[in-house]
């Protein structure tokens, strides 16, 4: 009886809430208390959230929602001939500038670029950071990715989603599809035609990372292709994590 009751409650909540709202619909939605939606993006390195879902984050911010980016690392290993300390300082400043453009709040988790860790302590830390943010929606890397830091960031976020008492919808973004992100088949799309240039400016804040190279890695083609799939100029694609956690937050359009 208990399991049956839980299933009925889940179906009822999902029918009233986020379970039946597409990602684009959430851009103009509010929570059942009337407050704006809280959006969090968990990215492995400075420039990952910007290149993966910067247009979507900018759209949520422009719609009046609160956006926070949690960077797992500060990109310590990302600048040749620079020490970890020097690279971290440079890439942190680049992140701060990018977040200003996207109107997002930056937070740094404290792992080390290229030496990321997946263990119980870090699951608890990321879970604690997410609980402090109290998000309604979380974006993170797709776990099938060639970059270990991307994988670990995704797995830490998934484990936090499973364990936390804070209910949020979880979506995965893609980066450099075909070279890094693999077997990615979007369930949701967001039209970023109006924020595509804003996204580009945020990516170009990361001057140490060769922004033209980031776009040559496939991001320009991805925006165009996802836009063609949606029937708009430019779009970002996402895969939505399904399960009971998504049904516990009631949101009205």
- In angstroms, the Cα distances linking 31 to 2, 132, 135, 137, 158 are 28, 18, 11, 11, 23
**Highest mean pLDDT of the ranges 27-36, 91-100, 209-218:** 91-100
With H, G, I as helix, E, B as strand and everything else as coil, classify residue 108.
strand
pLDDT above 70 (res 245): no
- Average pLDDT over every residue of 127-148: 97
- CA proximity to 199, closest of 211, 186, 208, 213: 211
**Alpha helix positions (H), the chain:** 2-16, 23-26, 48-62, 84-102, 120-133, 148-163, 196-204, 211-214, 220-230
Confidence of residue 243 (pLDDT cuts 50, 70, 90): low
pLDDT score, position 30: 75
For range 139-156, the mean pLDDT: 98
Residues 6 or more apart in contact with residue 243 via CB below 8 angstroms: none
CA–CA separation, 194 and 205 (whole Å): 19
CA 196 to CA 233: how far, in whole Å? 9
17 or 240: which leads in pLDDT:
240
Residue 6 has pLDDT above 50, yes or no: no
- What would the pLDDT profile of 55-76 be if each residue is shown by its tens digit? 999 999 999 999 999 999 999 9
What's the confidence (pLDDT) of residue 230? 95
Q: Is pLDDT at 198 greater than 50 in this prediction?
A: yes
The residue-averaged pLDDT of 6-13 equals: 38
- Angstrom distance (rounded) from CA 60 to CA 1: 40
Query: Does pLDDT of 131 surpass 80?
Result: yes
| Tens-digit pLDDT profile for residues 158-191 | 999 999 999 999 999 999 999 999 999 999 999 9
Q: What is the pTM of this model?
A: 0.89
pLDDT in tens, 13-60: 333 343 446 788 888 887 777 788 999 999 999 999 999 999 999 999
């Amino acid at each position: 009886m208990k399991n049956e009751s839980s299933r009925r409650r889940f179906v009822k909540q999902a029918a009233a809430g986020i379970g039946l709202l597409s990602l684009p619909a959430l851009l103009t939605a509010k929570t059942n208390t009337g407050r704006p939606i809280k959006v969090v993006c968990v990215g492995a390195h400075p420039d990952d959230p910007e290149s993966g879902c910067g247009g979507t984050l900018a759209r949520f911010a422009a719609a009046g929602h609160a956006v926070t980016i949690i960077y797992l690392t500060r990109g310590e290993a990302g600048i040749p001939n620079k020490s970890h300390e020097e690279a971290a300082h440079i890439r942190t400043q680049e992140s701060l500038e990018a977040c200003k453009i996207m109107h997002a709040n930056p937070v740094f988790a404290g792992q080390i670029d290229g030496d990321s860790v997946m263990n119980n302590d870090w699951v608890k830390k990321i879970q604690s950071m997410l609980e402090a943010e109290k998000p309604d929606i979380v974006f993170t890397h797709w776990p099938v990715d060639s970059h270990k830091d991307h994988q670990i960031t995704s797995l830490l976020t998934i484990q936090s989603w499973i364990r936390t008492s804070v209910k949020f919808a979880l979506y995965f973004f893609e980066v450099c599809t075909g070279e890094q992100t693999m077997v990615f088949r979007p369930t949701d799309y967001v039209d970023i035609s109006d924020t595509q240039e804003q996204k580009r400016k945020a990516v170009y804040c990361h001057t140490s990372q060769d922004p033209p190279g980031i776009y040559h890695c496939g991001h320009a083609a991805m925006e165009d292709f996802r836009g063609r799939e949606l029937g708009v100029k430019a779009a970002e694609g996402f895969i939505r994590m399904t399960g009971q956690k998504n049904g516990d937050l009631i949101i009205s359009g």
